[in-house]
Amino acid sequence: MSAVVADALERSFGEVRALDGLSFEVAAGELYGLVGPDGAGKTTSLRILAGVMKPDAGAAYVLGRDPMSTDEVVRSSIGYMPQQYSLYGDLSVEENLSFFSKMFCLDRATYRERRERLLEITRLGRFTDRRADALSGGMYKKLALACSLLSRPQVLILDEPTNGVDPVSRRELWALLFELVEEGMAVIVSTAYMDEAERCHRVGLIHDGRLHVEGDPTALLADFREGHGDDVTFEDLFLSVVREAA
């Protein structure tokens, strides 16, 4: 069974059709990249899968359940890191972590143990007293990631997690994602960086709310090179998909 299923999702905002029958699936232990230009529908689809937005039509399933459910099991099984800054900027690293742990009702011992581990892997241990607003872009994203991992989710949904993050922090963040995937987590990540897309197990190229190409990035690139020569890059593949769609 797929950990995450997007089944013919549709969603409009006024006249704008953000999602137009988008379907894809992600398995446990898989790192799935959602790639597309701005306005392709990446954020909307991730919001629906994270259960913070309702689709107009189609259905989303996370571990076979409706992600909108307020059931503790469902909510705790989804880790979500929105694209925009969404922590409490006037609260410290420690206060943010502690607050979200209480939203998941973690007991004190569990929280302490997970906090130690998360601070270690995000290397935020030295900054626990710093307010979230005063963190650098990379550190902020790591804190957001730590908050979304507090409930030990089986599915992790990250909306452009490396946007505005320096190269070193980006590398660290991706290393962390691979670790999580190896532990069996299903990770969906949206990105506008082609090098990141290439590192995913599978990618879905979306444009105008529809999935145009999907598959193993290495295999996709190999196929594309057969028709376009060995010099073309994944970015060329992406641009060609966007051009064809337009």
Partner 1 sequence: MRRFLIRLAALSEKETLHMLRDPQVVYLALGLPLVLVLLFGYAVSFDVEDVEIAVVDRDHSAESRGFIQRLDESDAFDIVVALETEAEVEPLLRRDEVKAALVIPRGFAKSLLRGEETRLQLMMDGADGATARIALAYAAAIGQAETEDRMADAIGGIEPPVQARVRTWFNPRMESAQFVVPGLVAVILAVLAVLLSALTVAREWERGSMEQLFATPVDRLSVVLGKMLPYVALGLLQFVLVLTLGAWLFDVPVRGNFVVLVVAVTLFLVCVLGQGLFISMVTKSQQVATQIGAVSAILPSLILSGFLFPIENMPPLLQMIARVVPARYLIVTMRAVLLQGRGFEQVWPSLLSLVAIGAVIVGVTTMKFERRLD
Taking the least distance from each CB to partner 1, the nearer of 27 and 105 is: 105
Taking the least distance from each CB to partner 1, the nearer of 90 and 179 is: 90
Nearest to 137 by CA among 110, 106, 168: 168
Tokens of 8: 């013919």
DSSP, res 86: -
Please answer whether residues 184 and 27 qualify as being in contact, where contact means their C-beta atoms are separated by less than 8 angstroms.
no
- 48: Cβ–Cβ under 8 A, 6 or more apart, which residues? 6, 9, 11, 19, 54, 55, 60, 67
Taking the least distance from each CB to partner 1, the nearer of 99 and 193 is: 99
Tokens of 183: 């532990």
Taking the least distance from each CB to partner 1, the nearer of 61 and 99 is: 99
Closest separation between CB of residue 201 and partner 1, Å?
Answer: 24
Taking the least distance from each CB to partner 1, the nearer of 101 and 191 is: 101
Taking the least distance from each CB to partner 1, the nearer of 79 and 161 is: 79
Residues present in the chain in total: 246
Closest separation between CB of residue 215 and partner 1, Å?
Answer: 29
Mark residue 229 as left, alpha or beta (left: phi above 0; alpha: psi -120 to 50; beta: remaining).
left
Amino acid occupying residue 145: L
Closest separation between CB of residue 152 and partner 1, Å?
Answer: 14
Cα angle at 110 between 107 and 115, to 5 degrees? 115
- DSSP-derived 3-state class of residue 155: strand
Closest separation between CB of residue 130 and partner 1, Å?
Answer: 14
Q: Which residues would be at the binding site for partner 1 (CB under 8 A)?
A: 47, 50-54, 68, 70-72, 75-76, 78-80, 82, 84-91, 95, 98-100, 102-105, 144, 147-148, 151
Please answer whether residues 107 and 129 qualify as being in contact, where contact means their C-beta atoms are separated by less than 8 angstroms.
no
Closest separation between CB of residue 132 and partner 1, Å?
Answer: 10
Closest separation between CB of residue 44 and partner 1, Å?
Answer: 10
Taking the least distance from each CB to partner 1, the nearer of 42 and 202 is: 42
Mark residue 146 as left, alpha or beta (left: phi above 0; alpha: psi -120 to 50; beta: remaining).
alpha
Closest separation between CB of residue 67 and partner 1, Å?
Answer: 10
- DSSP-derived 3-state class of residue 99: helix
